[in-house]
Amino acid sequence: MSLKIALLISGRGSNLVAIQEAIERGELEAKIVLVFSNRPTAAGLEAAERLGLATAILDHTAFSTREAFDSELGAILEACQPDLVVLAGFMRIMTAKLVDRFRGRMINIHPSLLPLYPGLNTHQSALDAGDEFHGASVHFVTPDVDGGPVVAQAKIPIRSDDNAESLAAKLLVEEHRLYPRILQWIASGRLQYQGGEISFDGSKLNAPLQL
Ligand code: GRF
């Protein structure tokens, strides 16, 4: 089965490119049916067009309420009937109503070892805390921001000469490996999320997989 993906971005779109390249290499049995951006100037939109992917833009600044924006975004997403909504640098907090419309079918990548550092500035937070490791987490989306069940994480050591930029750059390489791999597990049915529980190869997942 080929997994139909709607991908949501707000910026650069490097994860989007990594996912599409994994599809083109035959490592991910999926099709990106739509790349959506809430920012008309997102560089990822150009990347999507170069890759021949369908795009849609809804400028959130044109909406007076979060509810109105989310209701239209929900309609756009439902129109392309995705099996999975993949957030890849989508910098918008979504209403519970929108998240619930796609509960169990929406996944995100976050640049920290969740539950550490939800929200922004994760690299600096890891440095400020004196952490030994930093990482990225892939998690199903629930109405709690960056709070849904974590499927898998990739870890990197923090070196004494690291700064927020160097950590972000090193972590991005890991993100580009991690995300397509998890998506393939969903495409192949190895990874499932139902009723708030994740199962992997038929067994309940009690802790995030470390990759
Ligand atoms: C990544 O670091 C991702 O973890 C976070 O936003 C960034 C998106 O980067 N959610 P890109 O737009 O995929 O290059």
Convert the pLDDT of each residue in 24-41 to its tens digit.
999 999 999 999 999 999
Say if residues 107 and 84 touch (Cβ distance below 8 Å).
yes
**110 among known catalytic residues:** yes
Say if residues 165 and 209 touch (Cβ distance below 8 Å).
no
Percent of the chain at pLDDT exceeding 90 = 97
Say if residues 29 and 3 touch (Cβ distance below 8 Å).
yes
Q: 15, 94, 173: which to mutate for ligand 1, most atoms within 8 A of CB?
A: 15
Evaluate if residue 1 carries a pLDDT over 80.
no
Q: 37, 175, 178: which to mutate for ligand 1, most atoms within 8 A of CB?
A: 175
Residue 66, classed as helix, strand or coil, is helix
* Amino acid letter, 89: G
Structure tokens at 88: 């890849």
Convert the pLDDT of each residue in 127-142 to its tens digit.
999 999 999 999 999 9
Atom of ligand 1 nearest to the CA of 44: 12
- What is the mean predicted confidence (pLDDT) over 189-198? 92
- What is the mean predicted confidence (pLDDT) over 43-69? 98
Say if residues 28 and 99 touch (Cβ distance below 8 Å).
no
pLDDT band at residue 195 under the 50/70/90 scheme: confident
